[in-house]
Amino acid sequence: MAEEGGGEEYLFKIVVIGDSAVGKSNLLSRFARDEFDHNSKATIGVEFQTQVVQVDGKEVKAQVWDTAGQERFRAVTSAYYRGAVGALIVYDITRKTTFESTKRWLDELNNVDLESITTRLVKRIGIAYNTYIVALFSDLACDFHIKRVKLGVYGAHCDTAVARMLVGNKCDLDDIREVSVEEGKSLAEEEGLFFIETSALDATNVMKAFEIVIHEIYDKVS
Ligand code: GDP
Ligand code: MG
């Protein structure tokens, strides 16, 4: 465990993904600052925000990453996902197409680590699998807990893969919904995800969505 100032430290990287304009940036600003921006444009600048959450009397730093609008061009890079131990896959309940896209986002999330490991293995190092893993992790220079979870991604502990939550946002717009709660639930069941509907606008379930993911990660690593 990483000891600093006598206490344990936890830093969890969590990524927020999903189609453009589903409300990713507003979910994050609601979570981190309890703010909503009615005129939010494509996110520029900020890569992530860190929020401290208490779990089991311990301090957990949730480092939540937001895309900079590159999802519009389907150009989210593997660096965005690298080291993530949690993910919110967001759709807009009033736009069916954004719900249909969640499968693609899930594929991308599932593939990216394997892709980067293969690429680096072949192109850069070309050494034995295990040696490579060690190299990759020291390279990341993350906290021990993160490393343990990352190992899980490669199958060392298969129960410690990325904690994933399917999020149906804009539930305040129930009168124009195109995706039912049942549809959301059944996709989540099929894919083995948590499921929740949120509203970044009126704050419904936003803290809860992040907290469930954070608790799940914590349970896996503690
Ligand atoms: P992103 O592209 O996924 O980051 O989406 P944004 O957070 O920029 O939001 C896109 C648009 O949806 C903005 O006009 C927001 O004001 C609006 N929006 C985001 N969340 C909600 C919500 O929960 N309810 C409603 N009614 N509008 C929302
Ligand atoms: Mg955004």
Q: Which pLDDT tens digit goes with each residue over 108-147?
A: 888 765 554 554 444 444 444 444 444 344 444 333 333 3
Percent of the chain's residues with pLDDT above 70:
71
Residue closest via CA to ligand 1's atom 20 equals 23
pLDDT number for residue 38: 80
pLDDT number for residue 91: 98
Ligand 1 neighbourhood includes 40 CB (under 6 angstroms): yes
Classify residue 158 by its DSSP letter: G
| 52-61, 147-156, 157-166, 190-199: least confident range | 147-156
Comparison of pLDDT for 119 and 106, the residue scoring more: 106
- Record the tokens describing residue 52, joined without a space: 């401290």
pLDDT number for residue 222: 77
Where does the pLDDT of residue 167 fall: very low under 50, low under 70, confident under 90, or very high at 90 and above?
Answer: very high
Nearest to 214 by CA among 2, 11, 8, 5: 11
Q: Which phi and psi angles does 55 have, rounded to 5°? A: -130, 120
For residue 91, report the distance from its CA to the centre of ligand 2, in Å: 12
Ligand 1 neighbourhood includes 207 CB (under 6 angstroms): no
Whether the pLDDT of residue 182 is over 90: the answer is yes
pLDDT number for residue 87: 95
pLDDT number for residue 37: 83
For residue 22, report the distance from its CA to the centre of ligand 2, in Å: 8
For residue 67, report the distance from its CA to the centre of ligand 2, in Å: 6
Mutate to test the pocket of ligand 1, among 15, 20, 22, 26 (most ligand atoms within 8 A of CB): 26
Percent of the chain's residues with pLDDT above 90:
49
Q: Which phi and psi angles does 86 have, rounded to 5°? A: -145, 155
